Structure formats: structure tokens, C-alpha cells
Structure 1
């Protein structure tokens, strides 16, 4: 049976960008059923993919581990474990799009605000290769998520498909405990999803912002690196992400003002509680 290790993607990153990363440990041992902690994270990112304006946020970062038989919560977020084999996993993946007040963004000024949107759907993960020691793994991940606005009532705004390759390296460069994750791939979205972010209805058109109808299809590409380490009662992590919109079906939208952008963040969490109940786990 395969052995797992900690990939260490920030919960903040997984939520904000919809990435998935299965936390892994090398050996199956008795671990707490749950662990809890709280920390602080800083992130800088564009208002939305394609915006030429940025937001810098300081946010609380919850640290929650739950090692249930079918439900797992770890540094990558909440995962329902639907299917597992030596090479193939089917998980529930989650994501999040942050809100944008149009009054704070020049390109969207006068248009409706972008609501917070949660994303949920299945992710099929296939292990393509791993080293003999299982300290290095290459996975193909195929997450498909439905995006829903956080409002009353919620509104479905379309689907996102983000196939990607993920390389996970434990104790990278001989640094014990430091785990590196490298992820990259294209993004695809339905017309409804792209309309929500990049369409300009006639009533909001101006001389500098003509009416625009977005179509579904290729939505650019992304590459991301994460680095993290778990100490006894402290977890630290960082990420950097690059987005490229060249060739996207909506690249000529007047709301797309920058086709290349970086996002980055760091976080630190203190782990202050754990269950007395122990369960055998590699995660």
C-alpha cells in the first residue's frame, strides 16, 4: 500500500484559488482523530483574474485536521473520501472566490459587485509516478467544481474544470520536514461562469468599457508552488501563484486589463488542541 506525506498547501490558498492537495505522511501510525489550531495569514492577489489592481489581506487561518474514515479535513481543506486505491482517488474538492467591491476596481466601477463564491465538486486524482521511498510523487488531478455565490438565496454561476499535474517532494533539498508542492495546468470554464466575471451588459457599457458577452472554453493557465513545515505545535507555509490569460476565450473583455499576474501568501498557525482518541492514519 502506498505511503503518504504532508504536501502542506495553505488552507488559505486552497480556498482562495480552488486548488486541491492531499496531505500526506510517510508512515501509518496512531494519530489524533482531530487536531485544532488557529493562526494568521497574509495574502496579496489581483482583485480577480485579469484585474490590474490588487488587494492585500490579513486573514485568520484556521488549522483543522480530522481523520475520519470517510471524511478528512486537513491543510488542503475538507475532503470527502469517496474512493481510494493504490493509484486512484476520488475526492470532494472545495474552492473559494473572494468578493470584489466594484467601487474599488476601476475596470468594474458602476457595475454590480462580485460576491464571494464557493466551489464544490469531485476531483479524480491519478498517481502517475512515485519514487521508491515515496518521498516524491507526480499526480494528475482532474477537479470539476460548481461555483455558488454566498448570498440569500445562493446562485449557481457555472462550472470550472482545472486539470493539473502536481509534483510533491518531501524533505526537499535535504531539509527535513520541509515539503514542496509544484502544480500547473490549464483552466476551463462554462460560458455562465465567464459571463459572471467578464461580461459587460449594455446598461453598464461606457465609452471606455463597451458591452461584451463572454463565452465558455479555455480560461488561461496557472502554475503554483507551495512550501510548508509542521513543527510540534506550529505549522508554517507559503505559496506563490502565476496566472496567464493569453489565449483565454474572454481575453478581449474590457474587464481584462492584465493577462499575467502573481499572487503570494504566507501563514503561521499554532496547534493548541487534539483528540485523546487515536486512529491509524497516514494523513
Structure 2
């Protein structure tokens, strides 16, 4: 439940294409992403991460994997898509976090699940669209003996503006994305981050049992653009935990905060075959 779900896919999945356009069937390249984020949502201790990663894109008619994430079109509709939603969270060593001192470490986590996405509106120029996205993801601890860490549901409204600063219909220019929505998590997911068992309780950290329910609001702004074979993007996100079912946990030290990050990819090898992308 960290600010950046995955330093590779999450950082680069800043805006979906609105215009129909032709892109190479496959691409190979490299990238780098950076992010500043708290140890966990509600932590008052922040870490900075810088991560190089390989960039590989492959686009089939029904399945696409690229900077916009993994998308599987399982039924033919210009108003709805069933996509695959992926994410991850980095580990947290409790000895490096004052609030969690003496408690078990937070293990790295992988999240995956379906996202049912609906197009609510698009303008005639087809460079602005409003979508409702309904991702439901299962969280799994990434360890030698994988273990479930619950479920997260984060419905959101997403509006994309494509080709800013360019003539209508242009595929060039800047792409702006605005996303807002609540988060909900089951008891196991909330307990993983916010429960304090009796054995770890102390004077300044009373025992606490987290429950399922509302997990706060998120508001995200992203900006991205392609320059030839290079793509650049950046985002800022505001999290508000006021009213969250775990707000009274002694591990919640901050109820609102801003995180931010950037990504750059370079595509140095591409297929000569082009496929249609966008115009969902």
C-alpha cells in the first residue's frame, strides 16, 4: 500500500493512450525510475529510491504489455475493458523505522488482479477521456514461502488529456493524467501494516488490531511525453488517511502527505511491424 506500487510498471503507467496510433509490435530498451515515498502509508519516515530496469513491450491484438502496464482485452467493446492490474511494494526493515522498532520487518509484496475499466466520456477530437477504473488486487508476500497479505480495492476516476500544446488530433505534445479515488482493504491487508500485537506493545505503542474497510483517499497528477524513442514521465500524489479504519493505529504517524517520482525509458530495438494501439 505504498505510494508507488511498483518502481517499474507503476511509475511508468501514468496515462493510457487516447488516440488510436500505430506502434511497433515489440520494443526492447532500458529505463530508470526514481521516487520519494514513506516506508508505508501513514509513516513519517521517507525513503528515496532510484532504480534502473529493462524495458520490454509486446503488443498482441488482445494482450499488450508496455509502459502503460499489462492490458488484456477479453471482450469487444469501445466502452469497457478487462485489464490486468499489477503492482509491488518494497520491504521495510523495522530497525530503520522508529515507529516499528522491535516489530517484524515488512516483506516485499507483489499485487495482481483484474481491473474492469469503463469509458464514461470522450470528446469529439478524441484527445480527452474520462474513465472509471475498478482494480481489485490480491497481495502476496514475495518470500521463499509466499503468503497471502489480503486484498485491496481502489475504484478511481481517471481523466486523460493528450497532446497538450499541439493542434487537435496530434499525437505529439504532453499527456496529462488526473486520478482520484478511495481505497478499501480487507482485515489481513490492513493488519499487515497497522496491527500491533500484544508482544510488540510498549508505553508509546499500545496494542492495536486493525480491521477491514476504508483505507483513505488518493489524488494523483501525472505528466508524460515521447521524444522519438525516449519517453519521460513524472507524477505527484496526495494521500489522505483521515477517516481510515486504521487511522488510530500507533503506527500511523502522518494522516496526509505527498509523494512524487519520475521515469525515463529509451527504446533502442524495435519491430518493423506496426500495430494499432489506443482508441479503446
Q: TM-score, normalization: structure 2?
A: 0.91
The answer on 1:23 being equivalent to 2:19 is no
Q: State the alpha-carbon separation in 1 of the partners of residues 137 and 5 from structure 2.
A: 19
Contact 1:23 1:74 (C-alpha < 8 Å) held by counterparts: no
Which residue is equivalent to 1:147? 139
Shift in alpha-carbon separation, 1:46–1:109, aligned structure 2, 3 A: same
Residues 1:72 and 2:68 aligned together: no
8 Å CA contact 1:10–1:76 kept in 2: the answer is: no
Residue 226 of structure 1: SS of its match in structure 2? strand
Equivalent in 117, 125, 131 of residue 123 of structure 2: 131
Change in 2 beyond 3 A, CA 1:251/1:273: same
Q: 1:50 to 1:68 in 2, by over 3 A?
A: same
Aligned mate of 1:93, from 70, 74, 85: 85
Aligned residues: 272
Q: Which runs of 4+ in 1 moved over 4 A?
A: 19-22, 173-176
Structure 1 gaps, min length 5: 1-8
Offset at residue 265 of structure 1 (A) = 0.8
Contact 2:119 2:131 in 1 (8 A): yes
1:216-247: per-residue Cα shift (whole Å, max 9, x none)? 00000100011001111211110001100000
Match of 1:230 in 2: 226
The residue number in structure 2 matching 1:239 is 235
CA drift at 1:25: 5.2
- 2:27 equivalent among 30, 35, 38: 35
- Residues 68-122 of structure 1: per-residue CA shift (max 9 Å, x gap): 1232112132233323411111111111122111111110111111111111111
Q: Deviations over 1:4-48 (max 9, x none)?
A: xxxxx99737537xx96663152343x321112112222101110
Change (3 A) 1:21 1:15: closer
State the alpha-carbon separation in 1 of the partners of residues 16 and 159 from structure 2: 13
List per-residue Cα deviations over 1:169-217 (Å, max 9, x = no partner). Answer: 0022449421000000000000110000100011111111111100000
Are 2:44 and 1:52 equivalent residues in the alignment?
yes
Structure 2 regions of 5+ residues with no counterpart?
A: none
Q: CA RMSD, aligned part only?
A: 2.2
Could you say which residue in structure 2 is the equivalent of 1:12? 7
Q: Within the alignment, does 1:172 sit opposite 2:164 as a pair?
A: yes
Q: Is the 8 A contact 1:83 1:91 kept in 2?
A: no
Determine if contact 2:200/2:207 at 8 Å carries over to the other structure.
yes
